[in-house]
Copies of this chain bind each other. A is one copy, B any other.
Amino acid sequence: MQRGCIGLSNLYVGLVHYPVYNKRGRVVCTAVTNLDIHDIARCARTFGVRVAYFINPLDSQRELANRIILHWTRGPGAYHNPARKRALDRVQVRATLKEVIQEISEAHSLPVRTVATDATWQGETVSYPEMRELLCDRSQPYLLVFGTGWGLSREVLEGSDYILTPIAGVLNYNHLSVRSAVAIILDRLMENRQRGGSREWIPSN
C-alpha cells in the first residue's frame, strides 16, 4: 500500500438526481442546479478528483447541464474565466449511476467500489481515516456518491460497498447543502490538514 500519496486521482464523485428522496420521503428526480456544477467541479479540481459525474435520467436535464458545461469549457466562459474551464473540464453528465459504475470499472479494468454518503445513516459506516487508507491503494478506483434533494434512496445506500460516516456538527443540525458536504468530505479525505502551516499529505495513522 502506497503511503504519503498526493491527490485523489483514483477517486470519482457522482451527484445523483435520481433516485433521491423529497421532503415527504418519496423517491423523486431533482433538477440540475447550476451552482452545484460549479462548486463541485471547483472542489473536484482543487482536490485532484478524477471526474465529477452529474447523474440525471431526464434528457432535458442532461442537455441543460451539458449546455452549462460547454459554455465554460468551449464557449465564451472559457475565455472569460480560464480557471473555471479547468474545473468544468473534469465534469461529465450521465443518465444513471449504473452507467457511471460501468464506465469507471471499464476504464480501470477493475470493478469500482462505491462509497455512498448520507446525513443521517445510523448503520455501519466507514470512517474518514479508514477511507483515506483505502484510497492510498491507487490501483483501486472509488466512486463517492452524493444525493441531491433529501438524500440518496435506501436502495442506493444499501447497494453501495461502503457508507461514509455522516458529517456531525453540533446541536444535532444536519442540513448542510450537498455543495458544502462535497467540499468538507473531499477536504477530509484529502487530509491536507496543513498542521503547523505545512502542506504535506499526512497519513491517517
Contact = CB atoms under 8 A, between A and B. Distances in A.
Contact of A199 (B81, B168, B182, B183): B168
5 contacts: A6-B170, A8-B170, A45-B173, A46-B167, A127-B194
Interface string A35-70: 100110011011110000000000000000000000
A183 B194 contact: no
A169 B174 CA distance: 26
A23 interface: yes
Given A180-B180, A194-B165, A175 B42 contact: yes
Contact of A86 (B6, B43, B173, B181): B173
Interface centre among A7, A180, A181, A187 (most CB of B within 10 A): A180
A125 B177 contact: no
A195 interface: yes
A49 to B, nearest CB: 10
Nearest to A48: B170
Closest 3 CB pairs of A and B: A46-B169, A180-B183, A48-B170
A157 to B, nearest CB: 16
Contact of A47 (B125, B169, B183): B169
A23 B81 CA distance: 9
Interface of A: 6-8, 23, 35, 38-39, 42-43, 45-48, 81, 83-84, 86-87, 125, 127-129, 165, 167-171, 173-177, 179-184, 187-188, 190, 192-197, 199
Given A47-B170, A127-B195, A42 B183 contact: no
A87 B180 CA distance: 14
B168 A194 contact: yes
Nearest to A171: B48
Given A167-B187, A169-B190, A38 B177 contact: yes
Contacts of A181: 183
